[in-house]
Copies of this chain bind each other. A is one copy, B any other.
Amino acid sequence: MFAECPFSIVEQPKFVYDGKWLKVRQVRFKKNDSSSEQVWESAHRHKIPQSKPSGVDVLATLHKNGKKYFILIKQYRIPMGGVCLEFPAGLINEGESVEAAAVRELKEETGYTVSKVISCSKGKQSLSPGLTDESINFVVVDVDGNAPENKNPKQNLDDGESIEVVLVESDKLLTYIESVSTEVHVQSMVYAFALGMNYAQSCKV
């Protein structure tokens, strides 16, 4: 479990909380033999197979009437106590491929049907690696907004989800984010994507 770990694990890791959705794991370790014992607590979801990421984030570009938009969502998040601006995303079902989860989640959360899967990341992308093992893959997709199935997109939300679809012109993402960043919590991945776009555009990398 801790194959590459540079620290010595003092005792078998144990779960000190086991709730409905979350578990808390406690690991006792020493940086080296002479150092004092430390404790690392982390949060883990139930029922997530270790071999796959927990979820998928969908970077969807809507092509409509000659313009390009990112399909984002605003969603009230109980853990944050406020509204977050996020990529459409969700947990991957058992036996489901990452790409299939991306297509399903985009449809459920925004009503849009994927026209083309462009790319899918490999491995696991960590979200908050000091706190949890939760991880995702990124799936980049195109959506044809002029296709019949995307004329009147209808969400199909789970009970417990409250989601507003936001379309942002692709060349105005960072400007939009900066204009809302004190009103809503912009998810770090959305912000980082926009900073990456801006970096590439504003300086010769």
Which positions in A face B, CB cutoff 8 Å? 1-7, 16-17, 19-22, 24-27, 29, 31, 35-36, 38-45, 57, 59, 68, 75-84, 86, 121-136, 138, 140, 159-160, 162, 170-171, 178, 181-201, 205
Contact = CB atoms under 8 A, between A and B. Distances in A.
B16 A16 contact: no
Contacts of A185: 123-126, 129, 135
B81 A2 contact: yes
Given A133-B80, A205-B170, A191 B128 contact: no
A189 B194 CA distance: 11
A187 B126 contact: yes
B17 A186 contact: no
A7 B79 contact: no
A57 B135 contact: no
A196 B3 CA distance: 33
A131 B133 contact: no
7 contacts: A19-B26, A21-B40, A138-B188, A138-B191, A196-B197, A197-B200, A201-B205
A126 B188 CA distance: 6
Contact of A200 (B1, B42, B45, B200): B200
